[in-house]
Amino acid sequence: MSIDDQPLYNSKIISIFVSLLRKKYPHVDVPELLRYAEITPYELSDEGHWLTQRQVDRFHARMTQVVGKDISREGGRYAASEAAHGMMMKYTFGLIGPANTLLAIGKCSGNFSRSGTYSATKLADNKVEITVVPHEGVEEQPYQCENRMGLFEAVVMLFNYQSPDIEHNECIFQGGECCRYIVSWKKTLYATVRSARNRLIPIALVAYALSQHFWQVGHLVEVLTSLAFFALGSSYLAQRLETREFVTALAQVKESTEQVLAQMGVNYNNARMVNEVGQALSKQAGISDVLGNVIKVIEKRLGYDRCVIMLADARKSRLTLSTGYGYTDEQRDALLQTSFDLTAPDTQGVFVTCFRDNQSRFVSDFADVAHLHTPRSVVLSQELEARSFICCPIACDGEVLGILAVDNKKTQRPLMQSDLSLLTGIAPVIGMSLRNAIHLERERRMSEQIRQSQKMESVGVLAGGIAHDFNNLLTGMMGFVALAQMKLKKDDPAQEYLEQVLNAAERAASLTQGLLAFSRKQVNHPEPVNLNQVVDHLRKLLSRLVTAKITLHIELWPEKLAVVADSGQIDQVITNLVNNARDAMPEGGTLTICTSLMEMNEEWIDQRGYGRQGSYAVISVTDTGTGIDEATKAHVLEPFFTTKEVGKGSGLGLAIVYGIVKQHEGYVEIDSTPGIGTTLNVYLPLLTGAAAAGVPELRHADTGAPAVTVFSRPESRPTSP
C-alpha cells in the first residue's frame, strides 16, 4: 500500500469543513464535493474513520476551486465555534487550560492525524512552542500547515481566550526540517484581576508608607480598611470568574464522559453479541436453528430496526429470503415472493453484487443507486421503504452462502462505518456456522439416502421373489381355468364365474408385472434411441390422457439426446408420471414435459448423496397441482404406497418408474412444494461417441426441421378476450 492510500487523518477534520461550508458557503454542492474526494457520507459521520492523504488533497483542491479561495485556516478556527465544539472538547476541556492542552498535543494529535510527530514545550504560562515533524514518506501540502495553525488557535479559543498569536518562523514548505509554531495568548480575566490585586496592594502600601514618612498624611485605619476591601473584592471577583470557567469546563467534561459511557455501552453490547453469536453457532444445529439463533442475537444486542438474511440455493442461481425481523406482514410477503437472479453477469443490484463480489456494501441513500436496479427491485425497495442500509456477504473460506442486510427504518439512527466494520466481522462467523450446518444436513441426507436405497433394494429383492413365484402360480391358475372353460358348454352358468376368476387372475398378473419392474427383474430390450424421439411419439397418447382443464406443454431439447433404453419401458415411465401429475390437478392446471441435458458434477452428488459423475439426459414432468410434503416424499417410490382413496390406485405407478429407471442405471429426483406443484426428474446416462452418431435426429414430419418445442392441446390454453 502506498503512503497516499494509508489512513492518516480523522474524518472529523473534513466534517468541520463540511459544517463550515454548509453554514457560510451554502452555494457549494457538498455531496458532489465528497464524491470528488471519494469520501462517502457514512465515512464522514463516523468519528472512528480515517481518510488518506489523497482523499484530503482532492477535497481541499476541489473546495478551494468551488469556494474561490483557500479556507484552510478558517476551517481550523471554525473548530472553536459552537457548531464544531464536539471534536475538540472531548480532548481539551478535560485537560483544563490551553497550556496543558498544547503541552499534551503529541497525545491529542493522534486523535486527529497520524501524518507526523507532534511535540510541545512550555515557554511561559501563556506561551507554548509546538514542533511538527512529518513521518517518512508523508508528503503534506501547505494548506495543512495553515490548517494546523487554525487548529492551534481553536484550542486556545475553546477556553474563552481571544485568538492567540502564532509565530511560524520555521516551515518544511520553506526549506525547514520541521514546522515550528510559538503560540501565545493573553491571560484570562480572573488571572488579570489577581495580577492587578497582587501588584496594586504592595504598591499602595509602599506609597502610603512614604507619604506617612514625609508628609504625615495619617488615616492609617482608613487606608488599611480600603486595601482590605479591595483585596477581598478582587479576590472574590477573580474566584467567581475562575469558578465560572471551571463550571463550564466540568459541564463539557460531563457531556463528553456521558458520550464515552454511551460508546462503552455500545462496545459492551457488541462484545456480548459476538460472544452470544459464537456460543449459539458453536452448537450442532440445522440451518433453520442457526439462522434463528443469529437473528435473535442481532435483534437483542445490536438494536437495528430491521434485519434480513437471504441465502442462495444449492446451484447458486437464486437468492431468497431465509429469515428476518422488523418487517410488516405485507413487506415480509413481498420479500418471500421475491428472488434475486445470481446468474446474470450484467446485474448491478446491491444484493447481487454484494454476493457475487464477496464485498460489503453501504448504501447511504437507495435513490443514488436506484438506476443500477431493475424496475422490479425498485418497486420492492419502495414497498420495503428502504433508504439507507448495510449489506454484507455471508461467506466461509471464500464461498459466499448468502447476504445479511440491516437498516434503521423506525429510529432513523444513522448507520456508520463502525456498523459496517462490525457486521463485516460477524458475517464470516455466521458463514462458518452455516457451512457446518449445511455439511451436517448433507451428511444426514446422504445417510438417509443410503438407508432409503438399502430399504428399496431389500423391498425389491423381496417383491421380486414373491412376484416371480406368484406369477408362476397365476400362470397355472389361468391355465386350469382355461381348461375348465373348454370342458364346459358355452351356455353353462359356470362360464360366467370362471370368466370372473380369469379377469381377477389377469389383474393379479398385472400387479406382479409391476412388482417385477420395481425389482428390476423385468426383461427389457435396450438399444440406442433418441430420447426426444421417444417423447415425441407419445404426444397424441399423452394429449388423450389429460383432461380438458389441463394445459399440456411438451418442450424438447434442441439437440439430440442419445441414450441406451428400452423404448417401451420409457413409454411406461412417461405415461405413469403423466397419470400421476394429472391426478394431482383435479381442478386443472399446467403439465409440462421437457427434455434437457445436464452434467452431474461432484457438487451435485455431494448435495444429494447419490449419483455418478457424467452427462445425463433428463426427462422432467412438472405439474401445478397439490404437491406433497417431505414425509410423503420419503415414501412415494415404495410399492403399494398411495395417497389416493382406497380402490383408486394400486400404489405401483411411481414404484414401476423407480424400478425401470434403476434398471437403466439412472436416477429419480422429486422436487415438490405443497400447494405449488411437483417436478419429477428422470436422469438417464447419455450415450456419446460413435455409438451416439447412429441415433437419428428428431424431425417434423411436414418440414423435416429439427423439433425444438412442441405444444399439445392448444384448445385448452387460455385465450385473450
Q: For the domain that residue 473 is a member of, what is the CATH number?
A: 1.10.287.130
Confidence of residue 80 (pLDDT cuts 50, 70, 90): low
In the predicted model, is pLDDT for residue 620 greater than 90? yes
Asked whether residue 541 falls in the same domain as residue 601, the answer is yes
Confidence of residue 699 (pLDDT cuts 50, 70, 90): low
Residue 299: partners with Cβ closer than 8 Å, 6 or more residues away: 307, 325, 326
Query: What span, in angstroms and rounded, lies between the C-alpha atoms of 217 and 340?
Result: 102
Q: Does residue 471 fall inside a structural domain?
A: yes
Q: Residue 577's domain spans which residues? A: 527-716
Averaging pLDDT over each range in 235-239, 368-372, 521-525, 710-714, which range is the top one?
Answer: 368-372
> Mean pLDDT across the stretch 236-260?
66
CA 666 to chain centre: 38
> Mean pLDDT across the stretch 324-338?
90
Asked whether residue 148 falls in the same domain as residue 251, the answer is no
Q: Does residue 227 fall inside a structural domain?
A: yes
Least confident of 23-32, 290-299, 316-325, 672-681: 290-299
Asked whether residue 120 falls in the same domain as residue 45, the answer is yes
Asked if 99 and 115 count as a contact pair (C-beta separation under 8 A), the reply is no
Which pLDDT score, from 0 to 100, does residue 465 have?
55
Asked whether residue 25 falls in the same domain as residue 49, the answer is yes
Query: What span, in angstroms and rounded, lies between the C-alpha atoms of 378 and 348?
Result: 13
Which pLDDT score, from 0 to 100, does residue 470 have?
63
Which pLDDT score, from 0 to 100, does residue 325 have?
92
Q: How many domains does the chain have?
A: 4
**Element spanning 61, H or E:** helix 53-67
Q: How far is CA 656 from CA 79, 460, 471, in A?
A: 83, 11, 17
Question: Strands 527-530 and 389-396, how do they pair?
Answer: unpaired
Q: Does residue 340 fall inside a structural domain?
A: no
Residue 291: partners with Cβ closer than 8 Å, 6 or more residues away: 309, 322, 323, 434
Share of the chain above pLDDT 70, in %: 74
Query: What digits encode the pLDDT tens for the residues 346-364?
Result: 888 899 999 988 888 888 8
Confidence of residue 143 (pLDDT cuts 50, 70, 90): confident
> Mean pLDDT across the stretch 652-666?
78
Query: What digits encode the pLDDT tens for the residues 556-572?
Result: 998 889 898 888 778 87
Query: What digits encode the pLDDT tens for the residues 384-417?
Result: 888 889 999 998 888 899 999 999 888 778 887 7
Q: Cell numbers at residue 473, please?
A: 402360480
Asked whether residue 475 falls in the same domain as residue 496, the answer is yes
Asked if 11 and 51 count as a contact pair (C-beta separation under 8 A), the reply is yes
Confidence of residue 717 (pLDDT cuts 50, 70, 90): very low
CA proximity to 406, closest of 302, 331, 314? 302
SS3 for 78-130 is HCCCHHHHHHHHHHHHHHCCHHHHHHCHHHHHCCCECCEEEEEEEEECCEEEE
User: Running DSSP on this structure, what letter comes out for residue 283?
Assistant: S
Residue 694: partners with Cβ closer than 8 Å, 6 or more residues away: 528
Query: What span, in angstroms and rounded, lies between the C-alpha atoms of 216 and 210?
Result: 9
Q: Cell numbers at residue 431, please?
A: 458463514
Residue 410: partners with Cβ closer than 8 Å, 6 or more residues away: 305, 326
Of 207, 235, 266, which marks where a domain is finished? 266
In the predicted model, is pLDDT for residue 479 greater than 60? yes
Confidence of residue 537 (pLDDT cuts 50, 70, 90): confident
Q: Does residue 384 fall inside a structural domain?
A: no
Confidence of residue 113 (pLDDT cuts 50, 70, 90): confident
Q: Does residue 396 fall inside a structural domain?
A: no
Of 216, 239, 266, which marks where a domain is finished? 266
Asked whether residue 201 falls in the same domain as residue 244, the answer is yes
> Mean pLDDT across the stretch 475-479?
74
Asked whether residue 662 falls in the same domain as residue 560, the answer is yes
More confident residue, 106 or 25: 25
Asked whether residue 576 falls in the same domain as residue 678, the answer is yes
CATH code of 566's domain: 3.30.565.10
> Mean pLDDT across the stretch 446-456?
59
User: Running DSSP on this structure, what letter comes out for residue 699?
Assistant: B
Asked if 158 and 92 count as a contact pair (C-beta separation under 8 A), the reply is yes
In the predicted model, is pLDDT for residue 712 greater than 60? no
Q: What's the whole-number average pLDDT of the chain?
A: 77
Asked whether residue 546 falls in the same domain as residue 501, the answer is no
CA proximity to 436, closest of 291, 316, 608? 291
In the predicted model, is pLDDT for residue 2 greater than 60? no
Residue 139: partners with Cβ closer than 8 Å, 6 or more residues away: 3, 53
Q: What angle do CA 616, 640, 511 make, to 5 degrees?
A: 90
Asked whether residue 512 falls in the same domain as residue 546, the answer is no
Q: Does residue 390 fall inside a structural domain?
A: no
Of 155, 184, 213, which marks where a domain is finished? 184
Query: What digits encode the pLDDT tens for the residues 410-445?
Result: 877 888 777 887 788 788 878 877 777 776 666 666
Sign of the Cα torsion 574, 578, 580, 581 reads: positive
Residue 162: burial class (beta carbons within 10 Å; 0-12, 13-18, 19+) = exposed
Asked whether residue 135 falls in the same domain as residue 35, the answer is yes
> Mean pLDDT across the stretch 112-135?
86
CA proximity to 138, closest of 87, 101, 179? 179
Which pLDDT score, from 0 to 100, does residue 646 have?
44
In the predicted model, is pLDDT for residue 331 greater than 60? yes
What per-residue string of b and e applies to 285-310 under the rule 16 or more CB within 10 Å gives b?
A: bebeebbebbbebbbebbebbbbbbb
CATH code of 51's domain: 3.90.1520.10
Asked whether residue 558 falls in the same domain as residue 456, the answer is no
Q: Does residue 610 fall inside a structural domain?
A: yes
Q: Does residue 574 fall inside a structural domain?
A: yes
